[in-house]
Amino acid sequence: MLQLRNARLARCKGSRVTSNDPAKFDEMYAPDGSVRPAYRGYQQWLSEQDEGWLRRKDFEAESFFRKTGITFNVYGEDDAEERLIPFDMVPRIVTGGEWRRLSKGIEQRVRALNAFMHDLYHRQEIIRSGRLPERLFRDNSAWLPQMVGFTPPGGVYTHIVGIDLVRTGPNDFFVLEDNARTPSGVSYMLENRETMMAMFPELFSEVRVETVSNYPQRLARSLAASAPPATKGKPVVAVLTPGIYNSAYFEHAFLADQMGAELVEGSDLRVVDGRVAMRTTRGYTPVDVIYRRVDDDYLDPLSFNPDSALGVPGIMDVYRAGGVTIANAPGTGICDDKAIYSFMPEIVEFYTGQKPLLPNVETWRCADSDSRAYVLDNLAELVVKEVHGSGGYGMLVGPAASKREIANFRKKIEANPTNYIAQPTLALSTCPIFTSQGLTPRHVDLRPFVLVSPNGIDITPGGLTRVALKKGSLVVNSSQGGGTKDTWVLKE
């Protein structure tokens, strides 16, 4: 565990953290307390700042987020609670060389995911080859028969992808999860950068950092490039939101505003003359590309859940006829399935002919009897997840769990083994956070955002760093007490 070196270094000004545990990798400080190359420019600036001024800036950041309304909803059994997104002002920094290596691995994985989607809804060659068991999608609600035999406009299924990465050493990065259905969090990436630049403008003149602020324009271009054949003139793009009570509504409204796109709900759209059209003061106007933030099941009551009031009746018929692009494509949620994730090394090699440049975390499938036996014998040492789980819910972190929690999870696995996978408890890298005691290490992960269009793959140089603000915690999700950091990729 990293700790403060001494009383002086515990102060914010020039503070350092060191590690007595060589198994844990801190991204800012080496075990001997020296500053790693990526952070030298930042550390130089930090050492010159007044401690009291930094504390005031920390308070200022919280006030900024509160005034801006950067919140999210946490859903409980009875109601939803609106919370402020915790923000830490110590950036997470990646060198240009590290980012180049990551980008190659991310691009390879995203290409494989898109090829996998096309294959799974057409000839299913990967199933025929025996590389992937049919059971993984046969009874999987994320696999949609309505997509069979249909290729989306431009051949793109996964227009926006978030790849969750964790780090365990200087050159050791692993993919923890794939998010190919409706990845969220990009608005926080943008607001984190805007907040840092507003508070510390001089810092960005001393440390040269790649920009992320043009992401909305890049997203708009990428979506427009994916417009369907029926498009006439400049493509019309809209963001489809479930409404103000959705946990990510802030992001939906933010992105629509930043892109110059329309923010619409299902009630604003209808099918008119074979096109999806939105209501305007001049009547109904055709929409070419819909960036949907509505889950598959609620997208079209005529094709999926008949009780849905969030979607557009008949939109799937228009989609299949080439009259609209839906991003991401319906049915891409199967890529988020953690049982599918466990086969990603095989999937990447099958579609690219190459070994994965970014490895998976070792994963045991509880559906397999031998793996299940191992997991049940080692629950106290493993992290167990539901294959469809997200947001840090439905999981067991063995080393932090009580005997009762482990016993209850054992019963769940035994009752429904196909619903669970297990992974080792990784020694995730840490990055310092700003506290009243100085810089204190906390575990982090990283979600880079990837845009895919017929024109190619565009990876924003940065991403959303999530940080486990609780001491010793490995759960970085905001719904579970985590926060966020600005992520810097250094210019070379």
State the pairing for strand pair 160-169/449-453: antiparallel
Q: How far is CA 414 from the centre of its chain?
A: 30
Reported as type and span, the H/E element at residue 242 is: none
Residue 285's CB is within 10 A of a number of other CB atoms, namely: 14
Q: Is the per-residue pLDDT at 10 higher than 70? A: no
Domain boundaries in the chain?
108-163+212-352, 364-424
Q: What is the pTM of this model?
A: 0.90
Task: Locate all alpha helices (DSSP H) within 177-327, ordered by sequence.
Answer: 186-199, 203-206, 215-224, 249-259, 315-320
Beta strands in 265-392, from DSSP E residues, in sequence order: 269-272, 275-280, 283-286, 289-292, 325-327, 364-365, 382-386
Q: What is the mean pLDDT of residues 273-284?
A: 94
Confidence band, pLDDT 50/70/90 cuts, at residue 486: very high
Residue 361 DSSP one-character state: P
Segment 132-142, tens digit of pLDDT? 999 888 878 89
CB-CB contact of 476 with 468 (8 Å): yes
Confidence band, pLDDT 50/70/90 cuts, at residue 438: confident
Tell me what pLDDT residue 472 has.
79
CATH architecture for residues 364-424: 2-Layer Sandwich (3.30)
Q: What is the mean pLDDT of residues 455-460?
A: 98
Q: Is the per-residue pLDDT at 95 higher than 70? A: yes
Confidence band, pLDDT 50/70/90 cuts, at residue 164: very high
Q: What is the mean pLDDT of residues 374-391?
A: 87
State percent of the chain over pLDDT 90.
Answer: 76
**Summary mean pLDDT of the chain:** 89
**Identity (one letter) of the amino acid at 21?**
D
Tell me what pLDDT residue 104 has.
98
Look at the domain 108-163+212-352 and name its fold.
Answer: Rossmann fold (3.40.50)
In the chain, what is the greatest distance between 2 CA atoms, to the nearest angstrom? 73
Distances (CA, A) of 93 to 37, 148, 485: 10, 43, 10
Please state which of the ranges 198-202, 279-283, 340-344, 478-482 shows the lowest mean pLDDT: 478-482
Rg, C-alpha atoms of the chain? 23
Per-residue tokens: 146: 């309505």
Residue 478 DSSP one-character state: G
* Nearest C-alpha neighbor of 212 from the set 195, 193, 187, 184: 193
Q: What is the mean pLDDT of residues 176-195?
A: 93
Please state which of the ranges 44-58, 103-117, 157-171, 220-234 shows the lowest mean pLDDT: 44-58
Tell me what pLDDT residue 75 has.
44
Q: CA 198, CA 64: separation in Å to the nearest integer?
A: 10
Distances (CA, A) of 2 to 33, 91, 279, 476: 10, 18, 57, 18
CB-CB contact of 161 with 332 (8 Å): no
**Identity (one letter) of the amino acid at 295?**
D
First to last CA, the chain: 32
